[in-house]
Structure 1
Amino acid sequence: MPVLTRLIPSPVVVDIRAGALDDLAKILADQRISSSGKLAIAISGGSGAKLRERLAPALPGASWYEVGGGTLDDAIKLGDAMKSGRYDAVVGLGGGKIIDCAKYAAARIGLPLVAVATNLSHDGLCSPVATLDNDAGRGSYGVPNPIAVVIDLDVIREAPVRFVRSGIGDAISNISAVADWELAHRERGEDIDGLAAAIARQAGEAVLRHPGGVGDDGFLQVLAEGLVLTGISMSVAGDSRPASGACHEINHAFDLLFPKRAASHGEQCGLGAAFAMHLRGAREESALMVQVLRRHGLPVTPQEIGFTTEEFVQAVEYAPQTRPGRYTILEHLDLSTDQIRDAYADYAKTVSR
């Protein structure tokens, strides 16, 4: 009998709600996660230390590891420090850098990873990718999906609002990324996974069309769920294609060309997505993105994140080099410097109305 379904890598537990941290010990005691209570918990030196004081009494078998930063070296050191502990699982408790370091370290020593996110800055909290700074700039490393994801909305509200805004830009950019994937399918015959595309697109659309704001529980719930679903869509696809197109190429170009000045990941991706949708002729969709990004306090022009028009043109021109082999609207149009400049002038005129 043929196999009628496929198995999808996904967390065994996803707990997104106010007060979720109060039940963290119970979640970690799940036999699929930790039968002995021996856990290695990676934290930051700031907010992580405060959460340790709160959580440690309920986790007597845990060992706590402070992570220095978000580099490949930090992740390797973390894995080396944990490997002799005979733990059941690794817990990444913090923001994106902490979770990415913990994901890489857990993969390195062959343990499952529980992601406990303290902000919603990007979709990496549930993705099969760890993004870490290295000697060449920044690299993306394949890792297993988290076995569990815990997001306490009370903790999310305590984080600086810029993290929520960044997550909004990253989630909305899915719509442009999927459009790029479909373009590559039409023009190049690239395989497209319909399920992965649907998950990523609907996650982005849910955030784009939600009427709430960054302070609303309902909106934060949808955003958190959207970021988790985006990570799962990447697992379904086997790579980052459902959530990474021209928008992320532009983001990576900013990071590489202007490493000391780059804005947040989501700010750059949101701007890149709005511009990419404009380039592909989806003017209504681009206008809606601009409207929503503005409503949530995100930038829609490079000047709003400290870049000149010429620097933006430079980033767009360089962007395809950041992901060789990936086909997006940028590779499809293959615009010259002057054509990029003209396209941005048209976009800027549109968003200024």
Structure 2
Amino acid sequence: MEINTHVIDLPERIYIGNGIISKVPEYFDQICLKEPYLIVTGKHVRKIIVDKITKEFKDYDIIEVEDANLDEANKVEELAKKLKSNVIIGIGGGKSIDVAKFTAFNLNRKFVSIPTAPSHDGITSPFAAIKGLGKPVSMKSKEPVAIIADIDILSSAPKRLINSGIGDTLGKIVAVRDWKLAAKLRGEYYGDYTASLALLSARHAMNTTRIINRDLTYGVRLLVEALISSGVAMAMAGSTRPASGSEHLFAHAVEMLYPEGPLHGELVGVGTIIMAYIHGINWREIKKALKRIGAPTNAKQLGVPDEIIIKALTIAHTIRPERYTILGDRGLTRASAEKVAKETGVIP
């Protein structure tokens, strides 16, 4: 079989540990990152973390972003050009990191990921969710040259954000099944090793739900490693296929119909329950795992009207028509969507 050239860009160094945030300048020296630096962060994170990192920096600037949208990304890009920044550093949650990696990709600069909440696998992946591009899906972005994950900081994130990361990672159970289905029915490329890595992430997330209530620090470390390996799986596949399937299409559909609603990972968790049911996977185990940590498992807990759930299920297949999943080309009828949502207890 002829194999086309496939380039895999992976992080040069991943640092994980307790209280390591103060060692950032030392880590930068180890991997020869040169100033000037541009730090992309949020207002809250800047006050509590960024100042600790920049004490030994000489040539740098900081820009705060409020959302992961095209306008904010353009502002960051203009400042990076003006400063001639060699490295763009994302410090914070998903928004700051997504804008930083998207800008780094556009300018071909090095990107460093310093997450403050384990809310999704974007801390590692070379893809970013940027609003304003006309698509509710992730765009190709820069892979991190380094990831610095301080478990003390990540463990202090709001529990809801931690649970969101668990929900996002459990979704790989469905994503890999959808990917394999597309390979069988559409002849799409399928990577066994990459799929196995994504499923390993999901298993770690499942184990996290059994551990985190009694040992937060260890549970968060396990989750962070799962998020990182999920991001690596996407980098190896060259797409989001190992980590994003019909469960993500459902989440994106709800986000489109009901903006400013639940967290992305919360929607993915509920989407995983529904799509696992359709696949014939043990959806009850997934629902039980989410209940263990107090994550939403139904529309009421999500704060989303039942009608939005049903509508999202009927249009999910149109979000990325080129991505074949268990939803097929025609998606679910309204009657089927209502039946599935009721059978899984997502709506009463």
What is the TM-score when the length of structure 2 is the normalising length? Answer: 0.93
Q: In structure 1, what is the Cα distance between the partners aligned to 2:23 and 2:296?
A: 37
- The letter for the 1-side match of 2:320 is R
In structure 2, what is the equivalent of residue 278 of structure 1?
A: 277
Q: In structure 2, what is the Cα distance between the partners aligned to 1:209 and 1:99?
A: 26
In structure 2, what is the equivalent of residue 289 of structure 1?
A: 286
Q: In structure 2, what is the Cα distance between the partners aligned to 1:318 and 1:190?
A: 23
The counterpart of 1:65, out of the listed 59, 63, 72, is: 63
Q: In structure 1, what is the Cα distance between the partners aligned to 2:166 and 2:24?
A: 26
Q: In structure 2, what is the Cα distance between the partners aligned to 1:140 and 1:345?
A: 30
Contact (CA 8 Å) 1:195, 1:236: kept in 2 or not?
Answer: no
Contact (CA 8 Å) 1:33, 1:147: kept in 2 or not?
Answer: no
Q: In structure 2, what is the Cα distance between the partners aligned to 1:339 and 1:157?
A: 40
In structure 2, what is the equivalent of residue 324 of structure 1?
A: 321
In structure 1, what is the equivalent of residue 178 of structure 2?
A: 180
Contact (CA 8 Å) 1:230, 1:243: kept in 2 or not?
Answer: yes
Give CA deviations for 1:195-218 in whole Å, capped at 9, x if unaligned. Answer: 221111111111113431155222
CA drift of 1:45 comes to 1.3
Q: In structure 2, what is the Cα distance between the partners aligned to 1:83 and 1:26?
A: 26
Number of corresponding residues:
344
In structure 1, what is the equivalent of residue 216 of structure 2?
A: 216
In structure 1, what is the equivalent of residue 201 of structure 2?
A: 203
In structure 1, what is the equivalent of residue 342 of structure 2?
A: 345
Give ranges in structure 1 of 5+ residues lacking alignment: none
The counterpart of 2:96, out of the listed 71, 90, 98, is: 98
Pairing of 1:123-134 with structure 2 (within 5 A): 123-134=121-132
Give CA deviations for 1:325-344 in whole Å, capped at 9, x if unaligned. Answer: 11111117843211221222
CA RMSD in angstroms comes to 2.2
Q: In structure 2, what is the Cα distance between the partners aligned to 1:83 and 1:264?
A: 33
- The letter for the 2-side match of 1:26 is E
CA drift of 1:278 comes to 0.6
Pairing of 1:154-303 with structure 2 (within 5 A): 154-210=152-208, 211-213=210-212, 216-260=216-260, 262-282=261-281, 285-303=282-300
Contact (CA 8 Å) 2:90, 2:111: kept in 1 or not?
Answer: yes
CA drift of 1:135 comes to 6.3
Bigger drift between 119-128 and 201-210 goes to: 201-210
CA drift of 1:139 comes to 4.8
CA drift of 1:7 comes to 6.0
- The letter for the 1-side match of 2:228 is V
Q: In structure 1, what is the Cα distance between the partners aligned to 2:342 and 2:38?
A: 52
Q: Secondary structure at the match of 2:314?
A: helix
In structure 1, what is the equivalent of residue 38 of structure 2?
A: 40
What is the TM-score when the length of structure 1 is the normalising length? Answer: 0.91
- The letter for the 2-side match of 1:200 is A
In structure 1, what is the equivalent of residue 17 of structure 2?
A: 17
Are residues 239 and 137 of structure 1, via their aligned partners in 2, closer, same or farther at CA, if it must alter by over 3 Å? closer
Are residues 63 and 310 of structure 1, via their aligned partners in 2, closer, same or farther at CA, if it must alter by over 3 Å? closer
Give CA deviations for 1:220-264 in whole Å, capped at 9, x if unaligned. Answer: 11110111111111111111110110100000000101113x200
- The letter for the 2-side match of 1:216 is L
Q: In structure 2, what is the Cα distance between the partners aligned to 1:258 and 1:68?
A: 20
CA drift of 1:31 comes to 4.1
CA drift of 1:164 comes to 0.4
Contact (CA 8 Å) 1:70, 1:100: kept in 2 or not?
Answer: yes
Q: Secondary structure at the match of 1:329?
A: coil
